[in-house]
């Protein structure tokens, strides 16, 4: 017997091993069990993908596994299938894909069984009659619950589900009536669950699922909700302006799914930045929620992962990595802000959580909702061609009127910290009315760079082909590409000119200038530098909520779904970014950003106003965005993409290579192009571009080059890649260069 094993190594293949000698019957090898194997004199944990009679290799040389770790699969067959599909779609080593879906403890070969903290009576407590504690109602409830419980023990989660708090437990412990102990239980996956157990076919009444009474839906929301089919695959694009009540539609659809005892998976862009979204789910539903994202500890993540897998957690909410969770009875997937870049992993296994989730919904035969005020051109194209069901919410739910948007021509203006006189006046008016204003600067730091206007010197990073950003407090230069820092010179290092010029504003500079100009109100800066600490975003939002008039200076972080009640004015300092970008997605991103930021203004009863500052106010796509809105703008971009043979009409991939010598990167990509062209020759349907230097050629002293392949047929492109990679991997050049293949890449 031979086992085909996936190992966490960067090779696009599985590895054959024999089962260990004399393994016990409960460890008969089946797919999904983890094994320990010796691989190149290292001990590795792997996972069995299949079992066969024959080996494709010389069977006399196939080694034995050291050990089979599990007695039951650590990954459901559905998830195992899903990972294998994802590995083949992204042409990524299957072992790396599977291991990125597992929590750390399991990757390291630790037992899948969990240790739970439980409580039981002490001998003194056991002797007490049922109502002995009736003067302390909660304590008596716990006492009775313990008497009735299975084996007269309860775990902490069961207590919380009975609304018995930790302080009640503590009180009984202090009285010496109960004690805690830990128990190792077989992984819940294999047990019958006693709370919230899933019996397919049963339903849970809505009342016990909800903690609060939901909003009465408006007609558009009801229409959207009624279009959803719950027991079949369909992709829905829920397009609705900010504040139109998309989240409310998700909440209703999720309630329906929970009622039929299935689980819901919700993906959001970044948890740290969306504390409000998470708390909205917690406020609404009376069910265990698993939260999966990279900012929680490995231990916590394991626990949440287990509860998703066992079916105990009814809602799983998280960032892109949650798209790889093992979920027992998945009934619906929601992807909020589906256009957001953070759904695409930019290193290692470069997957799109949105795209793989669509495949998963198909695999599970369930609905998936993609929600956005500014859908990606990919999703919009699918909706316009009828592949997805297009649902639209056009009004703001809570009766707020959409903001008035004005373009502000910056040509021949004297600017104050990047702001025009009109913008400064608008800020004053807003503050005087007791409202809040947001100044959107898409650059953190004090200034993008330091220049000498005398000789042309500028502060460049020694290790990258990029300017160093000037930061204040303390004053220093910081490279945002390689993280190098150095002190900022006071005079020009090149011509000794006594004065250096601070180029255009970053968030710090705008904050400083505004606090001088508006001494009567607080100025609050929100960017990656001020929100590094855990919960700091939530704290800032709470602070803003409690303030009246104030000025907020922020980066695109503030463009995300935060609800700022008193915000009535948004100023976009530089609306031109994106139009001139070398990235073909630049204009799309610009339109999304402007629309999202504008959506922050005037969300309650007050009229919102948006000022877009631009040096190219007559640019046609900016004009369309402004006069006809995002949908018309996006349709115009789709026409341009179609003419330029770009996604979503054509399909793309990017080979990336980096090495200490530029020549190595170029040589590798030339080889990759040559091999790919054997299977996909250059033709009117298949284009090759490169090797070209990346947007920033040198980062951290490594030279980065790219090769783009574009093809009119996805199937042809993928077949060619599959064949080419087998050959490419045999070549010694692959070991000299750090390289990656990025399928459906988003950024250069
Ligand atoms: P979106 O997700 O599209 O930004 P939300 O669902 O967050 O919109 O709704 C915006 C605001 O409107 C929220 O405060 C929400 O509670 C409120 N809201 C949503 N739907 C309704 C409704 N049907 N009736 C009243 N208020 C609603
Ligand atoms: Zn100089
Ligand atoms: Zn650098």
Closest CA to ligand 1's atom 21: 397
CA atoms within 13 A on the CB side of 47: 29
**Residue 432 pLDDT > 80:** yes
Q: What is the pLDDT of residue 274?
A: 65
Residue 737 alpha carbon to ligand 3 centre in Å: 20
The pLDDT-based confidence of 194 (bands split at 50, 70, 90) is: very low
What is the largest distance, in Å, between two alpha-carbon atoms of the chain?
A: 91
Residue 514 alpha carbon to ligand 3 centre in Å: 30
Probe target for ligand 1 pocket from 216, 221, 237, 243, with the most ligand atoms within 8 Å of CB: 243
**Residue 625 pLDDT > 70:** yes
Ligand nearest to the CA of 480: 3
DSSP, collapsed to helix, strand or coil, labels residue 702 as strand
Range of lowest pLDDT (460-469, 571-580, 620-629): 571-580
Q: What is the pLDDT of residue 198?
A: 46
* Delimiting residues of CATH 3.40.1440.60 domain(s) in the chain: 2-107
Phi, psi (deg, nearest 5) at residue 72: -140, 155
Q: Tell me what the mean pLDDT of segment 177-203 comes to.
A: 60
**Residue 206 pLDDT > 80:** no
Question: How large a percentage of the chain has pLDDT more than 70?
Answer: 95
Q: What is the pLDDT of residue 594?
A: 86
Residue 498 alpha carbon to ligand 2 centre in Å: 9
Of 204-218, 437-451, 527-541, 593-607, where does the model show the most confidence? 437-451
User: Does 240 sit in the ligand 1 pocket, CB within 6 Å?
Assistant: yes
Q: Are 92 and 357 in contact (CB under 8 A)?
A: no
The closest of 330, 329, 383, 366 to 233, measured between CA atoms, is 366
Question: Rounded to the nearest 5 degrees, what angle is found at the Cα of 356, between the Cα atoms of 355 and 358?
Answer: 70
Close Cβ partners of 626 (under 8 Å, ≥ 6 residues apart):
405, 407, 612
CA atoms within 13 A on the CB side of 199: 5
Ligand nearest to the CA of 240: 1
Residue 335 alpha carbon to ligand 1 centre in Å: 17
* Kind of pairing between the strands at 469-471 and 476-478: antiparallel
Closest CA to ligand 1's atom 5: 245
Question: Rounded to the nearest 5 degrees, what angle is found at the Cα of 466, between the Cα atoms of 461 and 471?
Answer: 65
The pLDDT-based confidence of 735 (bands split at 50, 70, 90) is: confident
Residue 509 alpha carbon to ligand 3 centre in Å: 22
Long-range contacts of 300-305 (CB under 8 A, 24+ apart): 301/103, 301/104, 302/103, 302/104, 302/105, 302/106, 303/114, 305/103
User: Does 243 sit in the ligand 1 pocket, CB within 6 Å?
Assistant: yes
Q: What is the pLDDT of residue 145?
A: 86
Q: Which residue has the higher pLDDT, 309 or 24?
A: 309
* Kind of pairing between the strands at 476-478 and 485-486: antiparallel
Report DSSP letters for 610-638, one per residue.
Answer: EEEEES-TT-HHHHHHHHHHHHHHHHHHH
Residue 244 alpha carbon to ligand 1 centre in Å: 6
Q: What is the pLDDT of residue 732?
A: 86
Q: Tell me what the mean pLDDT of segment 603-625 comes to.
A: 84
* Delimiting residues of CATH 3.30.70.360 domain(s) in the chain: 651-743
CATH T-level assignment (fold) for domain 400-447+504-639: Rossmann fold (3.40.50)
User: Does 225 sit in the ligand 1 pocket, CB within 6 Å?
Assistant: no
Ligand nearest to the CA of 500: 2
The pLDDT-based confidence of 284 (bands split at 50, 70, 90) is: very high
**Residue 197 pLDDT > 50:** no
The pLDDT-based confidence of 213 (bands split at 50, 70, 90) is: confident
Residue 470 alpha carbon to ligand 2 centre in Å: 17
Q: Which helix (H) or strand (E) holds 51?
A: strand 42-52
Separation CA 43–CA 41 (nearest Å): 7
Q: What is the CATH number of domain 2-107?
A: 3.40.1440.60
Ligand 1 atom closest to the Cα of residue 393 is 3
Q: What is the pLDDT of residue 195?
A: 38
Ligand nearest to the CA of 562: 1
User: Does 6 sit in the ligand 1 pocket, CB within 6 Å?
Assistant: no
265: which strand partners?
316, 333
Residue 457 alpha carbon to ligand 2 centre in Å: 5
Q: What is the pLDDT of residue 199?
A: 53
**Residue 200 pLDDT > 60:** no
User: Does 248 sit in the ligand 1 pocket, CB within 6 Å?
Assistant: yes
Tokens for 383, please give them. Answer: 């909706």
Q: Tell me what the mean pLDDT of segment 234-246 comes to.
A: 92
User: Does 372 sit in the ligand 1 pocket, CB within 6 Å?
Assistant: no
Range of lowest pLDDT (127-131, 635-639, 685-689): 127-131
Closest CA to ligand 1's atom 15: 245
Closest CA to ligand 1's atom 25: 398
Probe target for ligand 1 pocket from 217, 221, 398, 595, with the most ligand atoms within 8 Å of CB: 398
Q: Tell me what the mean pLDDT of segment 139-156 comes to.
A: 84
Residue 249 alpha carbon to ligand 1 centre in Å: 9
User: Does 251 sit in the ligand 1 pocket, CB within 6 Å?
Assistant: no
Please measure the distance between the N-terminal and C-terminal CA atoms of the chain and give it in whole angstroms: 46
18: which strand partners?
64
Q: What is the pLDDT of residue 187?
A: 62
Question: Rounded to the nearest 5 degrees, what angle is found at the Cα of 183, between the Cα atoms of 209 and 80?
Answer: 65
* Kind of pairing between the strands at 501-502 and 476-478: unpaired
Ligand nearest to the CA of 477: 3
Q: What is the pLDDT of residue 192?
A: 37
Please report where in the chains the tokens 């897998």 appear, as a residue. Answer: 309
Q: What is the pLDDT of residue 442?
A: 80
User: Does 244 sit in the ligand 1 pocket, CB within 6 Å?
Assistant: yes
Q: Tell me what the mean pLDDT of segment 418-444 comes to.
A: 92
Q: Are 361 and 331 in contact (CB under 8 A)?
A: no
pLDDT (tens digit, 9 = 90+) per residue, 325-368?
Answer: 999 999 999 999 999 999 999 999 999 999 999 999 999 999 99
Q: What is the pLDDT of residue 608?
A: 86
Closest CA to ligand 1's atom 6: 245
Q: Are 650 and 717 in contact (CB under 8 A)?
A: no
Tokens for 735, please give them. Answer: 């070991």
The pLDDT-based confidence of 227 (bands split at 50, 70, 90) is: very high
Q: What is the pLDDT of residue 205?
A: 72
Q: Which residue has the higher pLDDT, 194 or 151?
A: 151
Q: What is the pLDDT of residue 400?
A: 67
Closest CA to ligand 1's atom 26: 398
User: Does 246 sit in the ligand 1 pocket, CB within 6 Å?
Assistant: yes
Q: Tell me what the mean pLDDT of segment 9-35 comes to.
A: 90
Residue 276 alpha carbon to ligand 1 centre in Å: 13
CA atoms within 13 A on the CB side of 152: 12
Closest CA to ligand 1's atom 24: 215
**Residue 745 pLDDT > 70:** yes
* Delimiting residues of CATH 3.40.50.300 domain(s) in the chain: 207-393, 400-447+504-639
Q: Which residues, chain by chain, have CB under 5 Å from ion ligand 3?
A: 461, 463-464, 479, 481-482, 484
Mean pLDDT of the chain, nearest integer? 88
Ligand nearest to the CA of 212: 1
Q: Are 241 and 180 in contact (CB under 8 A)?
A: no
Ligand 1 atom closest to the Cα of residue 248 is 6
User: Does 245 sit in the ligand 1 pocket, CB within 6 Å?
Assistant: yes
pTM of the full predicted structure? 0.86
Closest CA to ligand 1's atom 8: 245
CATH superfamily of 207-393: P-loop containing nucleotide triphosphate hydrolases (3.40.50.300)
DSSP, collapsed to helix, strand or coil, labels residue 52 as strand
**Residue 188 pLDDT > 60:** no
Residue 245 alpha carbon to ligand 1 centre in Å: 4
Tell me the CA distances in angstroms from 167 to 147, 153, 160, 170, 175, one per residue in order.
Answer: 19, 18, 11, 5, 12
Ligand 1 atom closest to the Cα of residue 373 is 3
Q: Which residue has the higher pLDDT, 627 or 252?
A: 252
Residue 557 alpha carbon to ligand 1 centre in Å: 21
Q: Tell me what the mean pLDDT of segment 192-202 comes to.
A: 46
Q: Tell me what the mean pLDDT of segment 143-155 comes to.
A: 84
**Residue 272 pLDDT > 70:** no
User: Does 555 sit in the ligand 1 pocket, CB within 6 Å?
Assistant: no
User: Does 397 sit in the ligand 1 pocket, CB within 6 Å?
Assistant: yes
Ligand nearest to the CA of 467: 3
Ligand 1 atom closest to the Cα of residue 251 is 6
CATH T-level assignment (fold) for domain 651-743: Alpha-Beta Plaits (3.30.70)
Ligand nearest to the CA of 497: 2
Question: Rounded to the nearest 5 degrees, what angle is found at the Cα of 68, between the Cα atoms of 67 and 74?
Answer: 145
């Amino acid at each position: 017997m031979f086992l085909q094993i996936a190992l966490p190594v960067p090779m696009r293949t599985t590895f054959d091993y024999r089962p260990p000698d004399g393994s016990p019957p409960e460890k008969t090898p089946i797919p999904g069990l983890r094994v320990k194997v010796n691989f190149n004199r290292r001990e590795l944990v792997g996972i069995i993908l299949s079992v066969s009679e024959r080996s494709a290799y010389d069977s006399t040389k196939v080694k034995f596994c050291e050990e089979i770790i599990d007695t039951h699969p650590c990954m459901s067959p559905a998830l195992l299938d899903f990972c294998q599909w994802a590995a083949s779609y992204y042409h990524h080593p299957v072992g790396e894909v599977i291991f990125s879906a597992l929590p750390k403890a399991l990757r390291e070969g630790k037992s899948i069984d969990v240790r739970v903290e439980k409580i039981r009576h002490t001998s003194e407590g056991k002797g007490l009659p049922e109502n002995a504690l009736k003067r302390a109602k909660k304590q008596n409830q716990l006492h009775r619950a313990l008497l009735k419980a299975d084996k007269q023990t309860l775990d902490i989660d069961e207590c919380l589900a009975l609304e018995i708090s930790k302080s009640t437990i503590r009180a009984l412990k202090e009285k010496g009536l109960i004690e805690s102990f830990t128990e190792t239980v077989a992984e819940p996956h294999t047990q019958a669950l006693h709370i919230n157990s899933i019996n397919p076919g049963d339903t849970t009444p809505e009342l016990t699922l909800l903690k609060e009474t939901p909003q009465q839906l408006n007609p558009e929301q009801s229409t959207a909700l009624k279009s959803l089919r719950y027991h079949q695959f369909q992709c829905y694009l829920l397009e609705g302006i900010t504040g139109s009540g998309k989240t409310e539609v998700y909440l209703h659809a999720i309630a329906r799914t929970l009622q039929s005892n299935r689980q819901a998976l919700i993906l959001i862009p970044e948890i740290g930045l969306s504390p409000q979204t998470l708390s909205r789910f917690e406020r609404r539903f009376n069910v265990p929620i698993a939260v999966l994202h990279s900012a929680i500890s490995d231990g916590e993540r394991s626990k949440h992962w287990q509860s998703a897998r066992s079916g105990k957690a009814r809602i799983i909410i998280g960032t892109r990595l949650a798209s790889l969770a093992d979920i027992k009875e998945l009934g619906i997937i929601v992807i909020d802000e589906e256009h957001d870049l953070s759904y695409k992993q930019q290193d290692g296994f470069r997957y799109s959580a949105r795209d793989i989730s669509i495949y998963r919904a198909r695999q599970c035969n369930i609905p998936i909702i993609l929600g956005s005020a500014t859908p990606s051109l990919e999703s919009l194209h699918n909706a316009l061609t009828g592949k997805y069901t297009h649902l639209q919410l056009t009004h703001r739910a809570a009766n707020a009127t959409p903001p008035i948007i004005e373009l502000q021509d910056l040509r021949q203006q004297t600017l104050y910290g990047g702001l025009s006189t009109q913008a400064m006046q608008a800020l004053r008016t807003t503050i005087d009315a007791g409202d809040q204003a947001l100044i959107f600067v898409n650059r953190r730091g004090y200034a993008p760079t330091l220049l000498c206007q005398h000789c042309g010197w500028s502060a460049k990073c020694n290790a990258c082909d990029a300017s160093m950003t000037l930061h204040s407090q303390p004053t220093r230069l910081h490279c945002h590409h390689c993280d190098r820092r150095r002190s900022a010179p006071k005079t020009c290092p090149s011509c000794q000119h006594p004065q250096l010029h601070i180029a255009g504003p970053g968030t710090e500079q705008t904050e400083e200038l505004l606090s001088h100009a508006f001494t009567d109100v607080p100025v609050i800066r929100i960017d990656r530098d001020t929100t590094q600490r855990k919960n700091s975003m939530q704290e800032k939002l709470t602070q803003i909520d409690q303030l009246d008039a104030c000025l907020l200076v922020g980066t695109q972080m503030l463009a995300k779904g935060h609800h700022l009640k008193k915000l009535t004015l948004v100023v976009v300092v530089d609306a031109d970014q994106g139009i001139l970008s070398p990235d073909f997605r630049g204009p799309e991103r610009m339109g999304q950003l402007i629309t999202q930021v504008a959506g922050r203004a005037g969300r309650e009863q007050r009229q919102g106003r948006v000022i877009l500052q631009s040096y190219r106010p007559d640019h046609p796509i900016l004009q369309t965005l402004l006069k006809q809105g995002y949908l018309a703008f996006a349709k115009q971009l789709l026409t341009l993409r179609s003419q330029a043979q770009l996604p979503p009409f054509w399909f793309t991939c990017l080979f990336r290579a980096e090495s200490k010598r530029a020549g190595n990167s170029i040589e590798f990509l030339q080889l990759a192009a040559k091999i790919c062209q054997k299977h996909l020759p250059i033709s009117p349907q298949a284009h090759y571009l490169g090797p070209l230097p990346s947007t920033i050629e040198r980062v951290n002293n490594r030279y980065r080059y790219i090769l783009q392949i574009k093809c009119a047929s996805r199937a042809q492109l993928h077949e060619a890649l599959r064949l080419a990679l087998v050959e490419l991997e045999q070549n010694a050049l692959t070991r000299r260069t750090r390289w990656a293949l990025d399928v459906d890449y988003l950024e250069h």
